[in-house]
Structure 1
Amino acid sequence: MILDADNLADYLRDLAIAPAEGAVAVRPLSGGVSGTVLLAEWERGGVVVKQTHTRMRVAADWEFDRRRVFVERDCLALLARIAPGVAPEVVFADDERFAFGMTVAPPGGVVWAQPLRAGETLPHATVAAAELLARLQTGTAGDAAVARQFDDLMPLVQGRVDPFHRTVALARPELAGAIGQEVERLLSVRRVLSHGDFSPKNVIAYPDRVLLLDCETAHWGDPSFDVAFMLMHLLLDGSRPGRAHAAAVADATRFWTTYRAAGGQADDERAVVAELACLLLARVHGKSPLPTLVTAAQREAVTRFGTELLLDGALRDVTAALTLASDHLDLPAGAV
C-alpha cells in the first residue's frame, strides 16, 4: 500500500489514529528525495506520516533500503529519551508498510534552509544547532546500548558513501585514491550516534530553540560526519553569483566554534576537513547535486575548493579551511 493524500485519512481511521467522524485534511509536505511525507490534520489533532520508497527521487539510479524508516523511528524514540523536545515524537509505527507517524511540529518556526537560501543567516539557529549536535554526541558517546542499536552501517553506506563519495570517485578518478582513504577512515570510526543528515533543511528554527527532523540515515559512527555535513550546507545553501560569501563563511565558523565550545566530540580536525571536501564534491558530482548550484561557474568553484581541501594534506585546521571558502566561492554577478 502506497500512502497518498487520497487514502491517508481512511488509513489513519483504520488505525484509530484519526477520529472516526469528522473531516481529516491531508496535504503533502516537502520530504526531500527519499519518500512520502504527509500531514493529516483534524479538529484538535494531527500527525505527520512518513513512508519510505526504495528508489530515491533523483535523476541518477539510487536505491536505499526501505528499512531506513525503522532507523528513523528508533532514532526519534531515542531522542525522546535522552533529549526530550528536540525532535518530533513517534505516534505509531507500521512496519509492514514501512511507515510511521510522528507529532506535528509546533507553529512559530521556519525551516532553517529557507532564510539561508534567501541570503539571510539566523545566528541564533546556528548557535542552537551547534549546541544540540554537541549535546547529542556527548550524550551518546561510549553508550554501548546505543552502539548496538545503531550498529548497522546500511544508512551511511547506501545513503551517503555510495551515492556521494564513491560516485564522485567514479566521476573524478584523479581523486579516487584520496576519497577512498576518507571512506575507509569514515567507516572505521564508531564513537557516537551520528544523525547522518544534520542540515538546515532538517532543522526548524524557533526564536528560542530548534527542532530536528529526518533521522533515517542515523548510525553509530564518526562525530566528524555531522559537523562536516552541516558546514557544507552552511557554505553552499546561500551560494549565488554576486552574493558576498563572507556571511556564509562567518556563519559556518560560528557553528564550528560554538560546537567545539559546547563539547562536540569531533576532535580530529583533519577528519572534518577531509569529510567536508568529499561532501562539497558530492554536491556537484554525486547522485544528489545541490539544486542551488545553477551555474557552471558555481559548480567549478565548488569542485576546485573541495579538491584543494581534499588534497592539501597540510590543511588540518577547520577554521583555516572555512576561511579559504571566501576566495573560492565568491562569484561575480555575471558568472555563468
Structure 2
Amino acid sequence: MVDPEFAAVLQKMGLVTPGTLLIMQPLTGGVASDIVLVEAPGRRFCVKRALARLKVAAVWEAPISRNAAEAAWLRRASGWVPGAAPAILGEDVASGTFAMDYLPAETHPVWKEQLLAGKVNPAFAGAVGRSLATIHGQSAADPSVPAAFANDDTFEAIRIEPYLRATARAHTDLSDALERLALRTLSTKRALVHGDVSPKNILCGPDGPVFLDAECAWFGDPAFDVAFCLNHLLLKGAREGGNKTDLACAFDAFLAAYFAWVDWEDGAELESRAAALLPALFLARVDGKSPVEYLQTDREKERVRTFARPLVASPLPRLSQISDLWRTTE
C-alpha cells in the first residue's frame, strides 16, 4: 500500500518522480515516528516521519522538529565515526520527514534482539562504548555543535519529563532527588547527546555498531547517553531467566571502552553523574511513561523497584559499584 503523503514528500525530496511504481511497508521499532520501507525500481530506502503524539498509553507529545535534529545527528556522527549511522538521502523539514539508507536485518541485526536471544557479545558492547565516546569527544571539540543542537525544550519533552519527572510522580518520596537529577542534567553542557542509546536503536553491522533514532539529539550531558545504554543491560537481567553474568560482562566492556576515550572533561565527574542517573532510569522503565515491554510480571518489576529506589535516594559514585551490586541481587 502506498501512502500518498509519503509519496508526495519523496517527490519533493527528489527521490522519486511522479508515476514511479512504489511499494511501501511499515516498519516496527519505535513509538515516536512512522517508519516505512520504500521499494522503488532499483533501490530500497527508509522514510521516517516524526509524530506529534507518541504511540504510548500515557499522553506524550513532542515537537516534530526533532526529526531535523535527528537527521543532523546522523550526519555529524557519520562524519566523526564513518559507518556509525545510515546515510541521509533526503529531508523535508516542514513535514518532519527524512529518508535514509535501509540496512537489512540479514547483515545488520538489531542489538536488542541479539541480547534478548541470549547472544551477548562483550566485544560489541565495547565497540558501542568506543564509538559513543568518540562522538561525544568530537562534538565537545566542535564549536558549531552547541548552537546547532540547542534543543533543551525537546529534550525536556521526550526525556526529562517522561522519564525523571513522571517517575517522581509515581514515587513521591523520591521526587526531590529525581528533580535534582533533572535540573542537573538539563544544566550540564558538555557534548552532543544522542538521547536514546538503547539496544533497539543500535544495529550490529559488519564493521561495527550503527546508531539509529537520534530524535532526542541535544547538546548537553553525555552522562545521559552512558546511563541510558547501561540501563538496558541491567534491565535485560531483570527478566526471569535473564543472564546477569553475561550482561554484566557486556556492561563492564562498554564501561572500560567508553572511559578509555574520555578526554573532554574529568572522567570521574562524568561517571558520577551517570551513576546517579542510572538507577533513576532503571526505575523509570517500569514506572515512567515508557515502560519496557519485556518486563511483564509483578516479580520482575518489583525486582527493579527494590534495587533502584535506595540508589536513587543515595547514589553510588561508580558505575562498576552498581554493576557489582546488581550481580548479587536476587
Counterpart among 2, 6, 10 of residue 3 in structure 2 = 6
**Aligned-pair CA distance for 1:239:** 3.5
**Aligned-pair CA distance for 1:238:** 4.9
Does the CA-based 8 Å contact 1:142-1:191 persist in structure 2? no
Aligned to 1:105: 103
Stretch of structure 1 that moved more, 114-123 or 6-15: 6-15
Q: What is the distance in 1 between the residues matched to 2:203 and 2:38?
A: 19
Does the CA-based 8 Å contact 1:70-1:95 persist in structure 2? yes
Does the CA-based 8 Å contact 1:202-1:214 persist in structure 2? yes
Q: What is the distance in 2 between the residues matched to 1:80 and 1:258?
A: 19
- 1:285 maps to 2:287: yes
Counterpart among 57, 60, 63 of residue 59 in structure 1 = 57
Q: Deviations over 1:245-302 (max 9, x none)?
A: 2221221111111111233755322211110011011001100011111111111111
Provide the secondary structure at the position in 1 that maps to 2:268. Answer: coil
Does the CA-based 8 Å contact 1:137-1:264 persist in structure 2? no
Change beyond 3 A, Cα 1:48–1:169: same
Aligned to 2:87: 89
Q: What is the distance in 1 between the residues matched to 2:129 and 2:58?
A: 32
Does the CA-based 8 Å contact 1:273-1:310 persist in structure 2? no
Does the CA-based 8 Å contact 1:113-1:237 persist in structure 2? no
Does the CA-based 8 Å contact 2:122-2:249 persist in structure 1? no
Aligned to 2:259: 260
Aligned to 2:68: 70
Q: What is the distance in 1 between the residues matched to 2:242 and 2:110?
A: 21
Q: What is the distance in 1 between the residues matched to 2:310 and 2:58?
A: 26
- 1:29 maps to 2:40: no
**Aligned-pair CA distance for 1:87:** 0.5
Q: What is the distance in 1 between the residues matched to 2:292 and 2:2?
A: 28
Aligned to 2:182: 183
Change beyond 3 A, Cα 1:15–1:321: closer
Does the CA-based 8 Å contact 1:284-1:299 persist in structure 2? yes
Stretch of structure 1 that moved more, 130-139 or 40-49: 40-49
**Aligned-pair CA distance for 1:66:** 1.2
Question: With structure 2 as the length reference, what TM-score do the two structures score?
Answer: 0.92
Does the CA-based 8 Å contact 1:187-1:221 persist in structure 2? yes
Correspondences of 1:151-300 after superposition (within 5 Å): 151-263=150-262, 266-268=267-269, 269-300=271-302
Q: What is the distance in 1 between the residues matched to 2:71 and 2:77?
A: 10
**Aligned-pair CA distance for 1:16:** 3.5
Give the gaps of 5 or more residues in structure 2: none
Provide the secondary structure at the position in 1 that maps to 2:133. Answer: helix
Does the CA-based 8 Å contact 1:192-1:220 persist in structure 2? yes
Q: Deviations over 1:144-184 (max 9, x none)?
A: 21011112212321111000100011110000111111112
**Aligned-pair CA distance for 1:9:** 4.3
Tell me the amino acid that sits aligned with residue 201 of structure 2: N
Provide the secondary structure at the position in 2 that maps to 1:237. Answer: helix
Provide the secondary structure at the position in 1 that maps to 2:49. Answer: strand
Change beyond 3 A, Cα 1:282–1:118: same
**Aligned-pair CA distance for 1:312:** 2.3
Tell me the amino acid that sits aligned with residue 282 of structure 1: A
Tell me the amino acid that sits aligned with residue 261 of structure 1: A
**Aligned-pair CA distance for 1:123:** 2.3
Change beyond 3 A, Cα 1:97–1:10: closer
Question: With structure 1 as the length reference, what TM-score do the two structures score?
Answer: 0.91
Change beyond 3 A, Cα 1:38–1:178: same
Provide the secondary structure at the position in 2 that maps to 1:144. Answer: coil
CA RMSD of aligned residues (A): 1.9
**Aligned-pair CA distance for 1:143:** 2.4
Q: What is the distance in 1 between the residues matched to 2:257 and 2:75?
A: 27
- 1:143 maps to 2:142: yes
Aligned to 1:40: 38
Q: Give the number of equivalent residue pairs.
A: 325
Change beyond 3 A, Cα 1:120–1:258: same
Tell me the amino acid that sits aligned with residue 79 of structure 1: A
